[in-house]
Structure 1
């Protein structure tokens, strides 16, 4: 690897397409060790992602999810991250252009999972590990391929010697050969054997070899032609754990989460964090668990498969179900308090089944946001798994997680969460949860520009809220439906929908602005400006409502032919939305501002506004990109 790097030419560009080999052969360990040795050569930093291409239980990481993590690591504000995968990839390539960085794409399933994550220019080194040969990268991108094979007998003996010493090996040569035979040169198995041998100096190597030979079955994930007793190695390491650590190890095999925090592990274990951290430390020392940055722990997928087997053989079904219920509740309570801190005015349902031992507190907005940013992949995994298992509170976790998903621009995840939550709400015949999740699916499709589908879900939500007597939620659904009708230029339908919302809840912030904008499009300017001014006066501290109202007021002035006030109001809307970090809203107001300048024959100003809008929309892969490009084409003839 170092030779390839040193011979990469003046631009230092090398793509090592695959360090491939079977599970446990040491691909990830090699890359991480090598990267630490070479990190000074990458002055702009390193990026790492575990793509989980072959995880037996957790879902593979989609390229869009990996790109989101990269963009956040590179300092992109979550609200500035595009929705579409292609736009995320373009933004990523722009950010790493000209930088000297190392990218480690670990555990890739196939070439298609990797391609969107590749930088588009020289300067970066990309290392990909996989159990598969990724010949597509070699053929299409001129990548180098390195294949790791199992260790030779000599190399395996050296590994054992590094842990237990050459003298001990020389005292029991037959036992050493037996250990090497049972481990078949697999570094993961050999390391676990060596660690245990070092920890038990009074136990002979012959006894250890006998333990391995007595365990006849093999972990199906890694049979290696019947030679590698990987399940035997795991079993032997497992039997040396303390009861607390052994129980936690078994339970860690149950969740589908990509990793786990100590507090989530404590919930899974049903004990306090201090005791759990001691067990986590024991598992880490035994190489059965790896601690990553911060307070997060990762279990190798082979070990996870073995841990799950042990849980099914050593624990009762009630014990396993209770552990996953506790993990679900931990994520429910923590997401609930985080969401309360992030949006104090948001109406959340009163929680049942409250276990104070699982509660979390977030004293500041920043702490709540940091927790969500690190935990949301696990929250989504919990929702999906709990939904598949028919756990009713999965639906409510999906509802509680809706706001932070939207806040951070995680629209694909928001859609997936709402879909899984709705599935269990329907199965449990939980109509209040079902109504909310229909509403969230309507929102998700609206954000994705799929207005007809969004309207379908929103109408269902409004009808169900009506049947339940939840007037405020019913009003909110009609208001969002009105916004969708505006996007579709169905102005009479929009006005009717928002009027219905205001009949149900006359204090619904932002709704008068939606109605005012619809009326302005219909030519009823007196009523339109009356509603718009009222909305501006009553929006108060609701920054989103204020920004929308300023935008709507500018559009109304433009429709009425008052281009001067249109420009003034839309300038205020752009500034307000920029300050809030509402990137798409800012682009929407910039687009309207360009039209107002064009109406005043201020063509340079119009082009500048539309170009700024296009930049934002292209970054986010928004469906209005082509609309703005067409506007720019019309202005070229005037410049």
Structure 2
């Protein structure tokens, strides 16, 4: 059974663009809502550090500076598009520019990797907007679920800010346009291999096409990276630079190789890059090699066998990043050894440590690693490595899910053997942080399991993603993964109830988005699947969920019928207590106040017997609202005071704020009402909630 829905952290999101008033959910249009900014939120600082050995691009930087200096009186935000081939240094150039210019932008800096090298992995605007809105101070509970509402809030929040934004590796203009700040004087730097003509057409973006570095700057970059200088080094660097074609990625690999292999000469490196390499760790041979491939081949030959194997296997899928525990699963080594191997790869510029302990491939190097894996390890061993990593992600995702929401019943066999020890999140907060950090990898894991025909892992990964999506949103990814989960669970042996679980989890994604017809269809499919499987617990949850949809739509009589049906399917005390609460709310919505009060009193008794202090407080809140609706203000005040006392120990600030607002309605005097309104306003302001503005107006109207 689900927790009683009030706001996002109870039902996992409910419908966004909503506020809680008098203990119920009332839908608002986004135009009526003031964006939820936490008071005192610092300006966002999302820019990663610029590269240490950046070289040249003086002309491009001069052009960008001139553009900014020449448009100081222009109110339009500016967009600059950096284009060029893979490995040309677009990302490094954008970050270097941003580091040089960020003092001009007091509104803060935003950054996102749009992962645009492939359509399948390109980030959705919604996923990026969720991050940006939170960075701008929107409390997580109030980030809208619908992408258009996210866009509206983002534009409102940035309208008066002078922001510097870097959107790296864009796939299309449609991906970029929703992410552009609207504040006068703001600057957005976009990098892409594509022309993005639509971006130029829609925004008047200025295009800076990056070209390969010239011979002198290429040689300079090589000498800086290698740590070698002098006349002999400059001569050798010039020869190696010619092999690199002026591509910074190839130059970085060559320079790092010289820095690591202190006995390697410039002449030997140049010969290595000129000759198609035989694979020292397996098969190999001639390839039609571009400068990046040539550089990757020569650096690859310097790897120890273990590092070479990890490099190959890590490139088999487009993971957003690798950590030591994930690399350990791939390479069948300890986490400590995996950390050493990742450092070895980073030392040769074959991967990049973009955050502490997290490494990623340039997409050209990932493709090179994948080719090497298929040549050296073959399809069988490559698939086995991917399977090991998927099982690692599943085990960790399940451990985090169980930590975030420990009271939920689960079906996946993975929950019978959850990992423990170092690296496994020990607290709900740490588990949530892990989920957010690994979100893109977990979504890719679902896609990968589906692509490899690992149906049992596909649906179990979806189940393990429940608390992440339930609490945090990311609805497009939620829906896409769970559609794969539904298909997978019908193709493989699975525990009774697994198919229903997939439909139910998908249904809540639609419910949060306000797509009630689709939500009810998903919950109905879940109920039918669980009925066929004779899985009464799942069917009860599905029938309850149908009732919640109908309750949100104001279909109170139909909702009550759903809750009664669910009650006939379960003997679980907690489930029956929750259903009594739902039924009481449905009866109250029908205006049957006496019946509602009696049912809610019964729900209170059931909750107290569990015990469940949080949900007992929620029942008392609904009971107070029902008493108010019946005109019994005195009883409402007593019950709500009791609810507040129980809620105080539960650390649920959203519900405490809503309860304070409700107590204002039950207050006997103007002074009491003002006091409760002030309490509610302060609580909502700390959350950055949109309700604060309306409550301030209500308080001002008191005389």
Q: TM-score range by the shorter chain?
A: 0.7 to 0.9
> What does the per-residue CA deviation read over 1:336-367, in whole Å, with 9 as the maximum and x for residues that have no partner?
22222222222233635958589853222221
Matches within 5 A, 1:123-522: 123-162=185-224, 163=226, 164-169=228-233, 176-177=238-239, 179-215=240-276, 228-349=290-411, 351-352=413-414, 354=417, 360-391=423-454, 392-430=456-494, 432-506=497-571, 507=573, 508=575, 509-522=577-590
Distance in 1 between the 2:190 and 2:307 partners? 33
- Structure 2 CA distance for partners of 1:591 and 1:311, relative to 1, 3 Å: farther
Structure 1 residue 49 corresponds to structure 2 residue 119: no
2:165 paired residue number: 103
Once the 2 structures are TM-superposed, how far is the Cα of residue 69 of structure 1 from its aligned partner? 1.5
Q: Return the match for 2:87 from 1, 19, 24.
A: 24
Cα pair 1:12 1:125 within 8 Å, conserved: no
Distance in 1 between the 2:596 and 2:583 partners? 7
Distance in 2 between the 1:486 and 1:515 partners? 10
Once the 2 structures are TM-superposed, how far is the Cα of residue 565 of structure 1 from its aligned partner? 6.1
Once the 2 structures are TM-superposed, how far is the Cα of residue 521 of structure 1 from its aligned partner? 4.4
- Structure 2 CA distance for partners of 1:359 and 1:453, relative to 1, 3 Å: farther
Distance in 1 between the 2:74 and 2:471 partners? 39
Once the 2 structures are TM-superposed, how far is the Cα of residue 18 of structure 1 from its aligned partner? 0.4
- Structure 2 CA distance for partners of 1:572 and 1:99, relative to 1, 3 Å: farther
Cα pair 2:72 2:185 within 8 Å, conserved: no
- Structure 2 CA distance for partners of 1:478 and 1:276, relative to 1, 3 Å: same
1:535 paired residue number: 603
Once the 2 structures are TM-superposed, how far is the Cα of residue 96 of structure 1 from its aligned partner? 3.8
- Structure 2 CA distance for partners of 1:418 and 1:16, relative to 1, 3 Å: same
> What does the per-residue CA deviation read over 1:5-48, in whole Å, with 9 as the maximum and x for residues that have no partner?
44442689762420111111001111223333444444454221
- Structure 2 CA distance for partners of 1:170 and 1:63, relative to 1, 3 Å: closer
Distance in 2 between the 1:543 and 1:444 partners? 28
Once the 2 structures are TM-superposed, how far is the Cα of residue 278 of structure 1 from its aligned partner? 0.6
- Structure 2 CA distance for partners of 1:355 and 1:479, relative to 1, 3 Å: closer
Cα pair 2:351 2:362 within 8 Å, conserved: yes
> What does the per-residue CA deviation read over 1:352-388, in whole Å, with 9 as the maximum and x for residues that have no partner?
5958589853222221222122112211211122122
- Bigger relative CO (Cα 8 Å, ≥ 6 apart): 2
Distance in 2 between the 1:19 and 1:201 partners? 36
Give the secondary-structure state (helix, strand or coil) at the position aligned to 2:88. Answer: coil
1:222 paired residue number: none
Distance in 1 between the 2:492 and 2:211 partners? 50
Cα pair 1:510 1:548 within 8 Å, conserved: no
Instruction: Name whichever of 16-25 and 28-37 sits farther off.
Output: 28-37
Instruction: Name whichever of 70-79 and 402-411 sits farther off.
Output: 70-79
Give the secondary-structure state (helix, strand or coil) at the position aligned to 2:445. Answer: helix
- Structure 2 CA distance for partners of 1:82 and 1:171, relative to 1, 3 Å: closer
Output the TM-score relative to the length of structure 1.
Answer: 0.83
Q: Paired residues, what number? A: 612
Give the secondary-structure state (helix, strand or coil) at the position aligned to 2:568. Answer: helix
2:619 paired residue number: 549
Q: Return the match for 1:73 from 111, 127, 135.
A: 135
Cα pair 1:328 1:394 within 8 Å, conserved: no
Distance in 2 between the 1:198 and 1:459 partners? 63
Distance in 1 between the 2:471 and 2:269 partners? 54
Cα pair 1:182 1:228 within 8 Å, conserved: no
Once the 2 structures are TM-superposed, how far is the Cα of residue 149 of structure 1 from its aligned partner? 0.8
Give the secondary-structure state (helix, strand or coil) at the position aligned to 2:413. Answer: coil
Gapped runs of 5+ residues in structure 1?
218-225, 598-603, 622-628, 630-639
Instruction: Name whichever of 187-196 and 59-68 sits farther off.
Output: 187-196
> What does the per-residue CA deviation read over 1:540-566, in whole Å, with 9 as the maximum and x for residues that have no partner?
575774575356445644664657767
Cα pair 1:16 1:146 within 8 Å, conserved: no
1:62 paired residue number: 124
Instruction: Name whichever of 42-51 and 159-168 sits farther off.
Output: 159-168
> What does the per-residue CA deviation read over 1:252-303, in whole Å, with 9 as the maximum and x for residues that have no partner?
1123322222222222222211101111111111111111223211211111
Gapped runs of 5+ residues in structure 2?
1-60, 279-287, 667-672, 695-703
Once the 2 structures are TM-superposed, how far is the Cα of residue 581 of structure 1 from its aligned partner? 6.0
> What does the per-residue CA deviation read over 1:147-205, in whole Å, with 9 as the maximum and x for residues that have no partner?
111122333233334334342346559xx44x444432222112222332444454444
Once the 2 structures are TM-superposed, how far is the Cα of residue 487 of structure 1 from its aligned partner? 2.9
Output the TM-score relative to the length of structure 2.
Answer: 0.76
Cα pair 2:395 2:419 within 8 Å, conserved: no
Distance in 2 between the 1:191 and 1:119 partners? 33
Give the secondary-structure state (helix, strand or coil) at the position aligned to 2:549. Answer: helix
Give the secondary-structure state (helix, strand or coil) at the position aligned to 2:368. Answer: helix
Q: Return the match for 1:116 from 166, 178, 186.
A: 178
